[in-house]
Amino acid sequence: MSYNTINEIFYHAGELYGNKKLFYSKNEKKDFVGATYGEVLKNAENFGIALIEMGVKPGDRIGLIADNRTEWITADMGVLLTGACDVPRGTDVTLDEIKYIMSHAECKICIVENDATLKKLQSVIGDTIVETIIVLDPKFKGVSDKIFTLAQLIEKGAAARGKKLDELKQRANAVKSDDLFTIIYTSGTTGMPKGVMLSHGNMVYNINEVPKAIGLRPDDSMLSLLPVWHIFERAVDYGAIAKGIAIYYTNVRDVRDDFAKVKPTFMPSAPRLWESLYQGIQQRIEKSEPARKALFEAAYNINKAYKKAADYLAGNELAMEPESDIERMKKTLQSAFVAANLYFPARIADTVVFGKIREAMGGRFRGSISGGGALPAHVDEFFNVIGIPVYEGYGMTECAPIISVRTEGRIIQGSVGFVPNGTEVAILNDKGERVRTGEKGVIHVRGPQVMKGYYKNAEATEKTINKEGWLNTGDIGFFSYNNTLSIRGRAKETIVLLGGENVEPVPIENKLLEDAQINQVIVVGQDKKTLTALIWPNLEKVKEIAGIAADAKSDLNKNKELVDHFNRIVKTQVSSENGFKGFERISDFRFLPKAMEVGDEITNLFKMKRNVIADKYAKLIESMY
């Protein structure tokens, strides 16, 4: 069924899945406790009734500063049913951001997670117009005439339900596709965030298209790990509601254990999670006895060769260049021969070796949609080879968020999948002309998911969306000859060297990260003669591989043995043998004084704040030139 508003989804799901437990949060014993969709919808309605009695009007903006939990979705649903618009943010929000967002969005009511978040808001509330605060935590005790708990308001709404439910439903049904459902202030990597205005129609388009593309169904269950206030996780959660899929709220600390507890079939994720899981598996393999290590390597090589051949035959190999009929016939015969000879060995290897890894993830896991950054090629290959498909997608908050996504049975590594029905994507060169297939350019998108604009920022909106409705993503990419979209960097991330060469740093960084001895790296060199890099090493891995011991708290740049060792790594990884041009080589590097952290140098979707890093480590960077 296709929908026009999110409210339609909420109520239709109530008819289909009202008695099904869809939302699971942890109690104090860390056991999952489920709530039926009907219970949550009724609580959301009662909360919405209480909001109406507090004077909330359609179109009002209501702040929502909280993280993943069942109460979040209850509050979110309640706000939307009234026809109002919520302004979400995570609890890691800074004081300056609270002041700016609550003031800019003109929020008179703000919902917060707990006492700690309340205190953050109270410390700057004088600089906002917030009058009423609602706390999600049911254990919160400090209520007053201006501070309520969600439970209190649900109870208040329940008392008025008989008289006010019809009014709430009229409000919910009166919402139109073009009405705002949220304003999301992008975390961004520069300056204060911009408020992305998303309509019900923007979000509903994603919900109508994406779940069917990746084969989601009501018997699925999923772990919810990414920040729910981000549009990516939020879109997946709404899609889960539409399909009747159980959602288990977890966190980074517990996610490995929760795979075994929940036995999920699906999970939205960011690339960093897969990198972490990959490194954990590799470390266990390295520490195993020689026979088991050799068995894994043999099984991996067999499956990799088989999958490469099978992918070609299925049309799932990235086609960078057009093939002649003779080339296609030759490669088809070669791939058929390899696939036929390796079919049974690959099945045995999959069952005996990789089945155990999948069992550790609950044994039912069918895949993950990965977004919020580029998935390193070696990590992508690894999980697809061992039978854990990763549906890498591409999008942005301004598109609610999907622009393209891999589809069930069509995982083409090196790409971010196919553009869904109804979306147009154009790749343009510097002159604004469409480029040919296989050529790189800046990605522009037009479709039902494109935002209404930036809130109270017409200038930024006009710079981003032209009069014909094309949104400039700022990302560089190309279309392959099998019609998939591939990303090759960000126009704003492009490093222009002194000689005029344009360099995309992400492929270089991803190649360096393939070496397990490198945990973090950022390539720099804007307006310089050559590229250089800042590195945070995996010292445990260095000791294991090279026998070099180093103290993480010391100045690693003074450790000559360590520096020489990493010079060799950098030159090996970023070399002509690996396809890098002369100007793409790294001329020098420095070790960072500490690991880069989320909330400091990295956004909570694990994107590097390149300008912040450049400013913070300016002296370290200059020491390389």
Statement to judge: residues 141 and 234 lie in one domain: yes
CA angle (375 as vertex; 323, 342 as ends), nearest 5 = 55
The predicted-structure confidence for 197-217, as pLDDT tens digits, reads as follows 999 999 999 998 888 888 888
Residues found in the chain: 625
Domain shared by 329 and 411, yes or no: no
- Residue 34 in any domain: the answer is no
Report yes or no: 112 and 118 within 8 Å, Cβ to Cβ.
Answer: yes
Q: Are residues 107 and 59 part of one domain?
A: yes
User: Which one-letter amino acid corresponds to residue 398?
Assistant: E
What is the overall mean pLDDT for the chain? Answer: 92
422 in the same domain as 471: yes
Q: Rounded to a whole number, what is the distance in angstroms from the first to the last CA of the chain?
A: 60
> Does residue 391 contact residue 368 with C-beta atoms inside 8 Å?
yes
Pair (427, 519) in one structural domain: no
pLDDT given for residue 574 in this prediction: 95
Judge if 352 and 457 occupy the same domain: no
Strand partners, 394: 404
Cβ count within 10 A of residue 505 = 23
Distance from C-alpha of 32 to C-alpha of 180, rounded to nearest angstrom: 33
pLDDT-based confidence at residue 571 (cuts at 50, 70, 90): very high
Hey, which residues does 222 pair with through a beta bridge?
247, 266
Last residue of a domain, one of 385, 406, 424: 385
Contact status, residue 68 vs residue 227, Cβ threshold 8 Å: yes
Q: What is the mean pLDDT of residues 343-353?
A: 94
> Looking only at Cα atoms, what is the longest distance across the chain?
79
Which helix or strand (DSSP H or E) is residue 293 part of? helix 290-313
List C-alpha distances in Å: 128 to 106, 109, 570.
8, 11, 49
* Of 247, 251, 258, residue with least CA distance to 226: 251
Q: Rounded CA gap, 241 and 233, in Å?
A: 12
Is 167 part of a structural domain of the chain? yes
What is the rounded distance in angstroms from the CA atom of residue 489 to the CA atom of residue 593? 27
Q: Which of the listed residues 366, 385, 404 is the one where a domain comes to its end? A: 385
Pair 540, 448 in one domain:
no
Distance of CA 497 to the CA centre of its chain: 30
| pLDDT for the residue numbered 500 | 67
Q: What is the CATH number of the domain that holds 79?
A: 3.40.50.980
Same domain, yes or no, for 444 and 569? no
Instruction: Outline where 386-471 has alpha helix (H).
Output: 458-464
Residue where a domain stops, chosen among 339, 369, 385: 385
pLDDT tops 50 at residue 68: yes
In a domain, 212, yes or no: no
Question: Which range, 102-116, 187-201, 246-260, is most confident?
Answer: 102-116
Partners of 183 in beta bridges: 197
- Answer whether residue 188 shows pLDDT above 80: no
Phi, psi of 201 (to 5 degrees): -65, -40
Domain count, the chain: 4
> Dihedral, CA atoms, 135, 140, 141, 145, nearest 10 degrees?
0
From the list 456, 450, 376, the residue with the least C-alpha distance to 413 is 376
Return the minimum-mean-pLDDT range out of 16-20, 44-48, 431-435: 431-435
pLDDT surpassing 60 at residue 172: yes
Burial grade of 126 (CB within 10 A; 0-12, 13-18, 19 or more): exposed
What is the rounded distance in angstroms from the CA atom of residue 512 to the CA atom of residue 505? Answer: 11
Q: Are 381 and 398 within one domain?
A: no
Which DSSP category does 465 fall into? B
Task: Give the C-alpha separation, 465 to 544, whole Å.
Answer: 51
Q: What number of other Cβ atoms are within 10 A of residue 161's Cβ?
A: 14
Same domain, 445 and 592: no
Which of 6-20, 160-174, 317-331, 575-589 has the lowest average pLDDT? 575-589
pLDDT at residue 190 above 50? no
Is 189 a residue whose pLDDT tops 50?
Answer: no
Buried b (16+ CB within 10 A) or exposed e, 20-56: ebbbbbbeeeeebeebebbbbbbbbbbbbbbbbebeb
Assess whether 474 and 582 both reside in one domain: no
Residue 255 in any domain: the answer is no
Question: Which pLDDT tens digit goes with each residue over 465-491?
Answer: 999 999 999 888 999 999 999 988 766
pLDDT in tens, 512-532: 999 999 999 999 998 788 999
Look at residue 586 and tell me if it is in a domain.
yes
Q: Answer whether residue 180 is part of any domain.
A: no
64 token code pair? 């929502």
**How far is it, in rounded angstroms, from Cα 227 to Cα 93?**
12
Average pLDDT over residues 610-623: 88
How far apart CA 599 and CA 261 sit, in angstroms, is 30
The pLDDT assigned to 415 comes to 94
In sequence order, which residues have a C-beta less than 8 Å from that of residue 85 and are 6 or more positions away?
59, 60, 61, 62, 79, 180, 181, 182, 183
Q: Which two tokens stand for residue 459?
A: 């200038």
Whole-structure pTM value: 0.82
Nearest one of 621, 327, 333 to 495, comparing CA atoms: 621
Residue 368 in this model has a pLDDT that exceeds 60: yes
Contact 556, 537 (CB under 8 A): yes
Is 159 found in the same domain as 296?
no
Q: Assess contact for 274 and 379: CB atoms under 8 A.
A: yes
Domain contains 406: yes
Question: In CATH, what number is assigned to the domain containing residue 589?
Answer: 3.30.300.30
Q: How far is CA 58 from CA 43, 47, 77, 289, 557, in A?
A: 19, 15, 14, 65, 58
198 within a domain of the structure (yes/no): no
The answer for residues whose C-beta is within 8 angstroms of residue 277's C-beta and 6 or more apart is: 383
* Residue-number span of the structural domain to which 421 is assigned: 390-490
Token pair recorded at residue 578: 């690996």
Cα–Cα distance for residue pair 257/261, rounded to 1 Å:
6
pLDDT at 494 over 80: no
**pLDDT surpassing 80 at residue 605:** no
